Structure 1
Amino acid sequence: MADIRERDDTGDLTEGDPTVAQARPDHDVYVVEPLLPQRLRRPSDLLRFGATLAAMVAVLLIALVAKQTLNGLEKDVTEGATRLPELLSRVATFLGGAALLVVPVAFAVERVFHRDGLRVAEGLVAAILGMVISFLLGSWIVTAGPVDLRLLLTGNRDIEPLNTLLTSVIAYSTAVRISRRPTWRALMWTVIGLYALAFFTGYQITLVGGIVTVLLGMAIGYGTLYGVGSPDTRPPGNAVVAALRKLSFTPVSARRIDDDHQGSRRYAIGLKDGTSLDVTVLDRDRQVAGLPYRLWRRIRLNSETRRRAIRSLRAELEREALMAYAAQAAGASTPRLLGTSEIGTEAALLAYEHLDTRPLDEVPDSEIDDNVLAQIWEQIELLQIQRLAHRRLTGDGIHLDPAGRVVLTDARSGEIAAGDLLLRLDVAQLLTYLALRVGPERSVRAAAAVMGPDALAAALPLLQRIALTRETRAALAKDKALLGNLREQIVALKPQSKVEEIRLERFRPRTLVTIIASALAAYFLLSQLSRVNLVQVVTTANWAWSGIALVASFVSFVAAALMLRGFVPEHLPLWRTVLVQFASSFVKLVAPAAVGGIAINTRYLQKRGISPASAVASVGASQLVMLIFHIGLLLLFAYITGSSTATSFTPSRGLVVAMLAVAVLAVLLLGVPQLRRLVTARMRRLFSNVLPRLLDVLQSPSKMIEACSGTLMITLAFVACLDACVAAFGGSLSFTTVAVVYLTANAIGSAAPTPGGLGAVEASLTLGLTVAGLDAPLATSAVLLYRLLTFWLPVLPGWAAFTHLQRDEAL
């Protein structure tokens, strides 16, 4: 147990809590702080580990894609190495092989003499891991790994895919942090270069193998550093006190308090004159904390709204100091910055005057009266007059003193000379936070009284979740209607305001998922096309069956038009509605399968004079009924197929599995409260809009017949098209079997985020037909012909229909 002692008011020592803190003497000052760990896992090592692994994967992927270019480059490098004079080549081989062992040993001896043997031990652990991992990976690649990967790393020669010795040495060098010693670093990489040159000359390593070996060694070294931890080089509390003495302060007590929201250490310092300081310590190893999240925000958001992902320690110190001085000059109520200083090379401090305050998060909602709200907005107005953006107007950045006066803290996130967008973001953030505490009406009323309606109208487009702090976004999850209520309050306050649209995001996560899924789908399709000749697929298909498939594809568009007409009580012209369905086939090129048609049909109904709510309800009702028909037909055809066949394709057993899966899903939806609330909310919105529309349809027998017949015809037309495509290549499957395959694959394709279900539909159909008993090449040819007729061929007439309808203002 550490002995904790503090001085009381009389100067005598008192006992502290030995279970959580330790005393560090600095002259006559005892610094009370938690026991600092001897070793810690640095986030920077974990980030370097992840970045090195990502680089290694990227090298392998690029090498797999650009094989020809890589082969040419490797040939050039190898030929260049073999043209070296023989004497120079032999010297390089000797020096590289010998020095690769001598240099690490010499560095280890030097570290031991400097009593840094623990670092050498870490390097030895990394070297052993490097040797073992590279040997196991190499053995797996040679015996059971992918053929393409083996060819990349060995060049089809009898050599090691990964050089075991080189991996071990690089892992050792990384773990002992030889990169921090410029002389040793230059010597080590020179030796590695000579060793690689010798191996290229002797055809004992490939270009990709050498690069992957280096990256793997670095990854193992960084992984070892993070796993075993690094010595804690953070300056302790007594170093903080010593730095304050150099600033002419006279500390008499020091105590570590809670870290701030960014993980920076804070100390409460008592001075000889009876005043106190609040000291924030910026540690160098904390500069990369939260870096992945900051990088993600930096990539995702526009340049004006994002913060820098990482800064040097010096830049972070200067930024916070500059913001603190600027806020003081603006007249804002903030703690005065009294001094700054570096603490060695690993940390820096900022000393603020101590104010007895409590954060707004700890203030009950009942105490946040109109006077407090007005003071908060007055402080923000002072900052905005001087073009200062706070950037963190949350409950831990706004404080109240005992007299009820507002104090702003946490200047580190702020910006000087801020643009209009950042200033408006501050208004939007504060409006939202206060609305969570006191309600939208009071929040808007208090802001308007100080800032004016124009300032709120300017912030209206920025009331977006992405614009708010992480804590505020989390709180909004419990009140999803709050932003909408805020907008309504502002619009009611200034109804004539012109609101321009502001897009803060470069892209949405859903867009990124779609791009990745589309890339995978394209890779799948290309791999499929590489196995078959598309021209041969078209020319060898039976033209009679192909013609039937084409007619069935056209019938599906007419059926879709009938279905939509059936769910709309108002009159819709048939052929124009058919053109709309063709136009939706064009939109599917850039939208998921289930989204493009819904958007086009909804837009079409609105242009026909149907209210937006009724248009959405009509399309939603058609989709709901189609889902019911889809499930019913799947169960019907699966039952018929399973009861009438005895082949390996037995959907009856799959039907049982599907029913069990549905039962398990229902139990989960009903048993997990969060899922149950989500489903209930969605179903409530569905029934509130769709059921009245269905009741309107049921009152008209002709509309009901048209809707049901159109819905049924869509499915049967697509099944007939696929069945004809199978028959076009001589395949023999029952209609019910093809129907089960289509209905299953269509459900998967509708759920896929790729345009038109690209990739997912092809894979599901090919797999289903293969399981049903078709040969893989025949199944692939049938699926490609089916997708050509139903997805690719309608694109051109769909584009023409889309252009025509837009010209006539029907879309």
Structure 2
Amino acid sequence: MRVDGRDVAISGDVLLPLTRRTNDIVRLSLATLVLVIVVTSSLITRNDWVGLEKSVSMIVGVLTPTQSNLVYLGYGVAILALPFVILIGLIGARQWKLFAAYVAAGFLAVISLSITGNGIAAPRWHFDLSERLSTTLSQFLDDPRWIAMLAAVLTVSGPWLPGRWRRWWWTLLLAFVPIHLVVSAVVPARSLLGLSVGWFVGALTVWVVGTPALEVPLDGTVRALARRGFLVTSMTVVRPAGSGPLELAAADDAGSRMVLEMYGPNQRSGGALRQFWRWLILRDAETAPLQASMRRAVEHRALMTIAVCDLGVSNTTTMAVAALERGWTLYAHTPPLGDPIGSSSDEALVTSVWGSLAVLHRHQIAHGDLRFKEMTVDSGKVLFGGFGNSEYGATDEQLQSDIAALLVTTSDRFSPETAVRAAVDTLGKETVLTASRRLTRAAVPARIRKSVNDPKAVMAAARDEVKRQTGADEIKTETITRFTRKQVIQLVLLVALVYVAYPFISTVPTFFSELRNANWWWALLGLAVSALTYVGAAAALWACAAGLVSFRNLVIMQFANTFAATTTPAGVGGLALSTRFLQKGGLGALRATAAVALQQAVQVITHVTLLILFSVAAGATADLSHFVPSTTLLYLIGGVALGILGTFLLVPKARRWLGTALRPRLQEVGSELLDLMREPKRLAIIVLGCATTTLGMALVLWASISAFGGDTTFVTVTIVTMVGGTLASAAPTPGGVGAVEAALIGGLAAFGVPAAVGVPAVLLYRVLTCWLPVFAGWPIMRWLTAREMI
């Protein structure tokens, strides 16, 4: 390459590869959104748009018929010639690889709008000039397929063409809207659809093909360095462009060397989106100011390098920053001073690393990227590089994040004991202890976690070592995100509550009209019994936990448990909440899980036993054939069960899961039950608690039926409650909403309870046992969360 009369040798490939950049994804997203808006507005508000267009056309349509024809004729010729002009421009630019994408985009745009209910309708474009020329051209102006083809090929060709051409051609294409209004015609709705479809097809084609290679302005780079007194004689590609900058090694006649980092115009888009996402999820004190401009980001890195270089802990020196042609930005600096740390595990380096970090922190500078690849060693002193994430005047939170990140990297390279000891000796116990609260996945940046082998284990080991060396009893996790995990879970539960409550809300008017004739004393009895079931459930769980948690708090937790179980499918939220409560109460994770599993096992055994007893008692006075499935259904259930059993026996992975995951849990629960048999008092409390829950629900339903004047036996109601509840428990809806009501109403009808009594009785039963506890459970769960009980 010859620049200003000097020959510069270039070695290596400097072209950017084809890639799907963030700009392509954003363009496709916007095109999809526009297409949805156009289709929706055409379907919903088309009549209003037509009236508005006619009104606007009457106001701006000031041309005479002759003038309108001339305007229409001139614009029609331009629209007809536009695709051929684009093609000639591509040929002139020698973009031979573009033809396939060009043809594909145009074909897909035309074919997508040619599909009809009777098949594909081919375009009927013709160039018969025997009639008026304006009539011939109108077939292209008003045909959405031609507009779609133009939009598609222009979108595909845009990245390859000069920006001025692209802007003029888009202006010409979009001008069909005002042109139609000026000539007193309504804009065809299908033309707008064609425009949006063409843009979408073009954006999709660009995303599939990739953004083209861009010409690198090496001549501008040579001139920018010459202004700094560095006359380049040769440049060698060290790292090709891609996810990072194009890196070159430059040399002059005197043998001096320089590292050149060149950032393309599209490379910052992904970084800007990542910055925005980090700012969105983290608090303001945790994030640096947004740098959406490539030029500003490179300038920030260069200035931070200058500041750290003055402190004597930078391994590079900034030489030049320049804005080049075609949106490129140059950052030139000296080669890194010293030797790379590499895989060295010399423990003497630990003290030097922490000492260099202390220099930065004394001057309120946060590095932000403390990986060993960004460090070198010169005469026993560790120097830093890579200041793209650094901050001058950093907040305390950013300084603490630095310490946590270096604890992770040094603990992985050396040992947690060595790393923490060096950190404490350099920065002090309190500083390290405070920073160790950030040894979490959310606080430690992803680039730091990816640089170590097992980040979770490393962070846990470092945290334990900090506790040992500082004498701390516990290290409380720092909350750094705008939305904590608990807040997200509570939001999801609240949305689920609204979802499951909707069927109930829709029946409220009818239900309240029936309440006028209800006997409120029976309703109050049902409410009291419903509250008693929570005491029974708490007693059962308290006994399963061997009385190691507060019984009072367990009773309170049962209301929050109802909220969590109702708003999650299959009641898994309630089981998780119970386990979490026991853990916070002092039980280990394994012991808490075993206690909840034991309670569920006894609950199932008690439920089945009571169902058998009451079925026998009801058999003499009631017809239970309503609840017996048909023979076909029994055969189907048996076949499915045998199929599942065969699958687990024949598939090795499923068989291993049975042996390694399920079998130990079953053995654990079985051993717990055997141990429980040796403690009659504890067993009696658990069984009575579980029986109180089951029979209490039946008693509430019986009281609800009595409140509306119903007359049925308690045995019958118990059968309906247990059988109906069991069948509805398989429903995928949270809390069994809909399934429980249907099962109970159907069961009562099968035993002769009229619908006028059964429907409001079941609704009252659900209010007393489900909805009142659910609405009380939300504030109770927040209260338990605030006191760190869950």
Q: TM-score range by the shorter chain?
A: 0.7 to 0.9
Q: Residue 400 and residue 601 in structure 1: after superposition, are their counterparts in 2 closer, same or farther (change >3 A)?
A: closer
SS at match of 1:349: strand
1:490-639 equivalences under 5 Å are: 490-495=466-471, 502-508=478-484, 512=488, 515=491, 519=495, 522=498, 526=502, 528=503, 533-536=507-510, 553=530, 556-570=533-547, 578=555, 580-582=557-559, 584-585=561-562, 594-595=572-573, 599=577, 612-614=585-587, 619-628=592-601
Query: Does the CA contact (< 8 Å) of 1:630 and 1:743 recur in 2?
Result: no
Corresponding position of 1:741: 727
> Is residue 344 of structure 2 the alignment partner of residue 364 of structure 1?
yes
SS at match of 1:396: helix
CA apart distance, 1:311: 2.2
TM-score by length of 2: 0.73
Q: Report the residue type matching 1:418 in the other structure.
A: A
> Is residue 370 of structure 2 the alignment partner of residue 393 of structure 1?
yes
1:800-811 equivalences under 5 Å are: none
Distance in 2 (CA, whole Å) between partners of 1:88 and 1:467 is 59
Deviation sequence 1:454-511 (CA, Å, 0-9, x none)? 4313313222221212143346672534333323433444447998874211125786
Query: Does the CA contact (< 8 Å) of 2:102 and 2:157 recur in 1?
Result: yes
Q: Residue 602 and residue 236 in structure 1: after superposition, are their counterparts in 2 closer, same or farther (change >3 A)?
A: closer
Query: Does the CA contact (< 8 Å) of 1:265 and 1:280 recur in 2?
Result: yes
> Is residue 286 of structure 2 the alignment partner of residue 305 of structure 1?
yes
Q: Percent identity?
A: 19
SS at match of 1:232: coil
1:667 pairs, out of 653, 656, 659, with 653
SS at match of 1:251: coil
Corresponding position of 1:157: none
Deviation sequence 1:169-199 (CA, Å, 0-9, x none)? 4334433339864444444333235559999
> Is residue 82 of structure 2 the alignment partner of residue 129 of structure 1?
no
Query: Does the CA contact (< 8 Å) of 2:20 and 2:208 recur in 1?
Result: yes
SS at match of 1:480: helix
Distance in 1 (CA, whole Å) between partners of 2:210 and 2:786 is 67
Corresponding position of 2:436: 460
1:255 pairs, out of 233, 236, 244, with 236
Deviation sequence 1:398-434 (CA, Å, 0-9, x none)? 2235x55422111122122222221221111111111
SS at match of 2:313: coil
SS at match of 1:339: strand
> Is residue 689 of structure 2 the alignment partner of residue 710 of structure 1?
yes
SS at match of 2:234: strand
SS at match of 1:504: coil
Query: Does the CA contact (< 8 Å) of 2:235 and 2:250 recur in 1?
Result: yes
Q: CA RMSD in A?
A: 5.7
SS at match of 2:653: helix
Distance in 2 (CA, whole Å) between partners of 1:443 and 1:601 is 36
Corresponding position of 2:737: 762
1:646 pairs, out of 631, 639, 663, with 631
Q: Residue 84 and residue 599 in structure 1: after superposition, are their counterparts in 2 closer, same or farther (change >3 A)?
A: closer
Distance in 1 (CA, whole Å) between partners of 2:423 and 2:403 is 9
Distance in 1 (CA, whole Å) between partners of 2:692 and 2:183 is 71
CA apart distance, 1:32: 2.1
Moved more, 120-129 or 620-629: 120-129
Corresponding position of 1:6: none
SS at match of 2:371: coil
> Is residue 214 of structure 2 the alignment partner of residue 233 of structure 1?
yes
Corresponding position of 2:329: 348
TM-score by length of 1: 0.71
Query: Does the CA contact (< 8 Å) of 2:233 and 2:251 recur in 1?
Result: yes
Distance in 1 (CA, whole Å) between partners of 2:626 and 2:430 is 68
Query: Does the CA contact (< 8 Å) of 2:536 and 2:690 recur in 1?
Result: yes
SS at match of 1:399: strand
Q: Report the residue type matching 1:363 in the other structure.
A: S
Corresponding position of 1:425: 401
CA apart distance, 1:49: 1.1
CA apart distance, 1:335: 0.9
Corresponding position of 2:361: 384
CA apart distance, 1:383: 1.8
CA apart distance, 1:212: 7.2
Distance in 2 (CA, whole Å) between partners of 1:195 and 1:645 is 69
Query: Does the CA contact (< 8 Å) of 2:544 and 2:598 recur in 1?
Result: no
CA apart distance, 1:228: 2.8
Corresponding position of 1:83: 55
Give structure 2 stretches of 5+ with no counterpart: 120-142, 613-624
2:252 pairs, out of 267, 271, 274, with 271
Q: Residue 708 and residue 167 in structure 1: after superposition, are their counterparts in 2 closer, same or farther (change >3 A)?
A: farther
Corresponding position of 1:332: 313
Query: Does the CA contact (< 8 Å) of 2:149 and 2:198 recur in 1?
Result: yes
Q: Report the residue type matching 1:422 in the other structure.
A: Q
Distance in 1 (CA, whole Å) between partners of 2:512 and 2:646 is 41
Aligned length: 724
Moved more, 554-563 or 627-636: 627-636
1:411 pairs, out of 376, 387, 397, with 387
Q: Residue 279 and residue 807 in structure 1: after superposition, are their counterparts in 2 closer, same or farther (change >3 A)?
A: closer
